[in-house]
Amino acid sequence: MRTRKTTIWHLAGLLAAVCAPTHAAVKILSLTPSVNPPQVVGTAAVWTVTAADSSTGPLTFRFNVTPPGGSVTLLRDYNAGTLSAGVWSPNPLAWTPTTIEGTYQIQVVAKDFKSGQVASLTASFQVTPLASGSTPVAAPTSNPLVALFGAPACAAGSTMRVVFQMQSKAKPASMTSLVKCHPPSTMNFEIAGMYPKTAYNMYAQTVTGGVAVNGSTVSFTTGALPSNVPFPGFKTILAPTTASDTAESVLLLSADELGSNRTNLPSLATDLSGKVIWYYYPSNADHFTLLSRPLPGGMFLTIQNDTAWNPASVNGQVLREVDFAGNIIHETNTGVIQQQLLALGATDGAACNSIGSPAPIGAACLGAFHHEAIQTLPNGQTAVIADVERIFPAGTQGDTSGLPVDIVGDMIVVLNSNWQVAWYFDTFQHDSGAPQLDINRPAVLGETCVNNQPGCPPIFLLSPGIAPTAKDWLHANSLYYDPQDGSIVWSSRHQDWVMKIDYENGALAATRNILWRMGPDGDFTMNNVYNDPWPWFSHQHDAAIQGNGLGYLTVLDNGNTRVSPPPAGVGSGNSRGMALTVNQTCSGTPPTCTGLQVTPDLSVDLGVYSVAMGSAEVLSSNNYLFLAAIVTVPPTSVVGYSIEIQPTPGTDTGTQVFNLEGPESYRAWRMTNLYQPPTI
C-alpha cells in the first residue's frame, strides 16, 4: 500500500510537471520509481519517465543524481527516447544506491536538440541504512559472487576497510580499499573476489592514526555461478613455479566474442588455476561488453553495444563505468558525444546518419567507441577512442575504383569528471604528412573494412558511388597518459606505430601535434644491441610506460607484419612480449622531443601467434605478464594464453614461469586483489 508520505512525494512530482511554463515545447509528464521510498541501501529502483514534445523531436533524456550531502552527478547522458501514442519515453534507468543512506535527488532532463527546448523534473528518494545499531550486515547483490557489507559509522578522521576470508581458511584473507569515515552515516562496501558456493567471514577494520581495530565478524555464503552465463574453461599449461609472482594471484580477463556464432563471454576474474572469483555479464545475452580498464576500489570502464541516437547500429555506442555488482555509475553514448564535439568545433564528429548518400568528399562522422577507455588522466578525466570515417577523393591511398574513398581514422575524446567532452584529438587534422600522419601512407598490410566485418567498427558511409571497401587506416587500440610530461601515448595497429600527442594535461592551447612516432620508418633510432633481425614490434597492442619506476615501454608484439609473407615480412614466427627503454628529451611550449632512441630490454618469443588483441604488464616482482589473446589451435579452437615471463639478466629473453590457457580475451591483468588494479 502506498503511504501518505509517498503519495505526497509523487504528487509533488506531477505538480512540477503540470506547472511547467505553458510556452514550453517539452514537458516531463512523470518520473516514477519501480519501488516506493524509503528503501534500504542496496535496493534497486528502476525509473521510468514519460514526456511530451510539441515539436517533431526526437526527445533525448539525461539522468542526474545528487547523493546526500553531495553535488549533482551524471548517471546517464542524453540518449534517444522512443515515441508511442504521442508520449516520449527513455530506456528505463536502473539505479542502485550502494554507498550511503539519506535523501537522494533523482533528476531527469528532456531535450529536443532540434528546437533547443529543455524540461526537467526532480524527485526525492529516501534510502535507509543497511546496518542499524552496532551490528554489521552482509547482504547479497544481483551478482551471486558479490556481497554488500554495511558497517556502523566510524569517527571522522579515521578510515575503514573490510577484511574477508574463506571460513575454511584455505586461502589468505583479502581486504577492500580504505575509505574515509563520514559520520553519522554508516559505511558500505561491495565485497568481491570470492569463490562460488563458499562460506566467508568478514569484518570491518577501522584505522585511526595507524592503529587498526576490528569490528564484529559476520558470515556470508556466495551463490552458484548462474547456468545462463557461458563461463569458459581453463587449462593449466604451466602451474606457477617458485619464480612466479604469486603475490599477484588474481587474473582478470576482458571478455571477447567466441566461436563462429560469436557467443558473448563474461569478463571475469579467476585465481591462477582458472577458478572464477568474479564476473560481469549484462543480462542481455546479445549485449557485447568490452571491459577496457579496471579502476581502483572496484569500478570498471566498459564499452558496450547498446542503443544510441543512430538506429543503424548498437555496436560500441555506449561507454559505461560500472561497479562490482554491475550497477551503472556513469554512462554516455556516441550521440551526445557527437553533439558536444560539434559544439567544440570538431566538425569530423558529426552524426553518421546526418550525412546523405553518397557522402560528398570531405564529409566525416564519428561512428563508435572501440578498444580503449582510461581514467588515469588528471582530475578524474576519462579518455576514450572512437572511430571517424571521412570521404577522400578518388585514388587516395592507391584505391583503383575511380570512386571517392571512405577512410577510417580515429578520434581520442577526453571527458571531464562529469563525463562531458573537454578535449579531443582528431587524426584527420594531422594527416598532411611527416612529422605528423600521412593520409597517403595506407595501412601497412592494406587492411580494409565493410560493415559487419569482424574486427572492424560499424561502417556507415559506404554506399553506391563510394569505393566498395573502407580503408582501415590506423586502427588505434590503446591509450596511455604519461604523467612525466602530460602527454598521451597511443598505439596504431595498422601503422605499426606507437605515437605521442601534445596534450599538455588537457590545455585547450595544446597543439595536439604528434610529438613522435615510434616504430619502423618512424622517428626513433633502434639501438639493436641483441642483433635481432626484426627488432621492432608490429600490429602491437597495449603500449604503456610502466615498470615500477624502470621506465620501460611494454607492448604485446602481435607481429602480423613480421610474420606476413614477403616482401612485408618473413612468412612465419610467433608473437612476442616486449619491453623497451625509451630515451627522449621533450621540452618547451609547445614541446619538441629530441634524442629519440629505443633499446630493447625484453623481446621474448611467446611460443604462439596471437593474430590480434593482447596485453602487456610489469608485475611487482619485475616479471612480466603477456596475454597472447587470440590463438588458433587446430583444427578449430581459438584460445588465449596468459603467460608470465621471468627475464634472463643480460639478454632480451626470459623463461615462462606460468601459462594458463583460457578463452579468447581482449586484455589480461594480474593483481593482488580486485581493489588494486595496475596503475597504468
Q: What string of DSSP letters covers 395-435?
A: TGGG--SSS-EEEEEEEEEEE-TTS-EEEEEEGGGG-BSTT
Residue 206 has a pLDDT of 98
| pLDDT confidence bin for 588, thresholds 50/70/90 | confident
Please check the confidence at residue 21 and state whether its pLDDT lies above 60: no
Please check the confidence at residue 386 and state whether its pLDDT lies above 80: yes
- Tell me how many helices (H) and strands (E) the chain has: 3, 48
Report, as an integer, the average pLDDT of 536-558. Answer: 86
Closest CA to 148 of 91, 78, 85, 202: 202
Question: What percentage of the chain exceeds 70 in pLDDT?
Answer: 94
Got the DSSP string for 220-283?
A: EE--PPPTTS-PPP-EEEE---TTS-TTS-EEEE---EETTTTEEPPEEEE-TT--EEEEE--S
List of residues 6+ apart from 444 with CB closer than 8 A: 494, 495, 496, 538, 539, 561, 568
Do residues 555 and 578 touch, judged by C-beta distance below 8 A?
A: yes
Please check the confidence at residue 547 and state whether its pLDDT lies above 70: no
Got the DSSP string for 334-359?
A: HHHHHHHHHHTT-GGG-BGGGS-SSP
List of residues 6+ apart from 500 with CB closer than 8 A: 482, 487, 488, 489, 514, 515, 516, 518, 586, 593
Closest CA to 679 of 248, 292, 301, 376: 376
Closest CA to 189 of 107, 99, 105: 99
Please check the confidence at residue 551 and state whether its pLDDT lies above 90: no
Please check the confidence at residue 586 and state whether its pLDDT lies above 70: yes
Residue 287 has a pLDDT of 74
Per residue, the 3-state secondary structure of 532-549, as one string, reads CCCCCCCCCEEEEEECCC
Residue with cell 574515509: 180
| pLDDT confidence bin for 132, thresholds 50/70/90 | confident
- Beta-strand pair 525-526/592-605: parallel
What is the rounded CA–CA span in Å between residue 301 and residue 310? Answer: 22
What is the rounded CA–CA span in Å between residue 541 and residue 560? Answer: 11
| pLDDT confidence bin for 8, thresholds 50/70/90 | very low
Q: What is the CA radius of gyration of the chain?
A: 26
Residue type, 610: S
43 is written with which cell numbers? 535496493
- 492: which DSSP letter? E
Mean pLDDT, the chain, rounded, equals 93
Question: For 326, phi and psi rounded to 5 degrees?
Answer: 90, 5
Closest CA to 143 of 270, 72, 42: 42
Residue 1 has a pLDDT of 36
**pTM of the complete model:** 0.94
Residue range 255-297, pLDDT digits in tens? 887 655 567 899 999 999 999 999 999 876 457 899 999 999 9
Got the DSSP string for 136-169?
A: -EEEE-SSTT-EEEEE----TT-EEEEEEEETT-
Report, as an integer, the average pLDDT of 417-435. Answer: 96
Residue 680 has a pLDDT of 64
What is the rounded CA–CA span in Å between residue 18 and residue 8? Answer: 15
Residue range 155-190, pLDDT digits in tens? 999 999 999 999 999 999 999 999 999 999 999 999
- 91: which DSSP letter? P
What is the rounded CA–CA span in Å between residue 315 and residue 102? Answer: 38
Residue type, 383: A
List of residues 6+ apart from 646 with CB closer than 8 A: 243, 244, 623, 654, 655, 657
Residue 203 has a pLDDT of 98
Q: Is 275 exposed, middle or buried (0-12, 13-18, 19+ CB in 10 A)?
A: exposed
**Start-to-end Cα distance in the chain:** 51
What is the rounded CA–CA span in Å between residue 234 and residue 641? Answer: 10
- Residue ranges of E strands in 573-667: 576-587, 592-605, 615-618, 624-633, 637-647, 654-663
Report, as an integer, the average pLDDT of 578-593. Answer: 91
Q: Is the peptide bond before 520 cis (omega within 30 degrees of 0)?
A: no
Report, as an integer, the average pLDDT of 540-556. Answer: 81
List of residues 6+ apart from 446 with CB closer than 8 A: none
Report, as an integer, the average pLDDT of 589-606. Answer: 94
Residue 403 has a pLDDT of 98
Do residues 501 and 480 touch, judged by C-beta distance below 8 A?
A: no
| pLDDT confidence bin for 493, thresholds 50/70/90 | very high
| pLDDT confidence bin for 14, thresholds 50/70/90 | very low
Residue 264 has a pLDDT of 86
Residue 23 has a pLDDT of 55
| pLDDT confidence bin for 4, thresholds 50/70/90 | very low
Do residues 627 and 641 touch, judged by C-beta distance below 8 A?
A: yes
The helix or strand, by DSSP H or E, that contains position 17, with its residue range, turns out to be helix 4-18
- Torsion over CA: 607, 279, 176, 69 (sign): positive
- Beta-strand pair 487-492/497-501: antiparallel
What is the rounded CA–CA span in Å between residue 494 and residue 472? Answer: 8
Residue 552 has a pLDDT of 82
What is the rounded CA–CA span in Å between residue 641 and residue 145? Answer: 25
Please check the confidence at residue 630 and state whether its pLDDT lies above 90: yes
Q: How far is CA 427 from the centre of its chain?
A: 21
Closest CA to 238 of 607, 615, 621, 649: 607
Please check the confidence at residue 10 and state whether its pLDDT lies above 50: no
Least confident of 47-51, 141-145, 227-231: 227-231
Residue 13 has a pLDDT of 38
| pLDDT confidence bin for 133, thresholds 50/70/90 | confident
Residue range 200-237, pLDDT digits in tens? 999 999 999 999 999 999 999 999 999 999 999 999 99
Ordered by where they begin, the domains of the chain are 4-128 (2.60.40.3880), 137-221 (2.60.40.10), 225-286+524-680 (no CATH), 288-518 (no CATH)
431 is written with which cell numbers? 594527416
Report, as an integer, the average pLDDT of 418-433. Answer: 97
Residue range 239-253, pLDDT digits in tens? 999 999 999 999 999
Residue range 30-41, pLDDT digits in tens? 999 999 999 999
Q: How far is CA 396 from the centre of its chain?
A: 33
Residue range 431-487, pLDDT digits in tens? 999 999 999 999 999 999 999 898 999 999 999 999 999 999 999 999 999 988 899
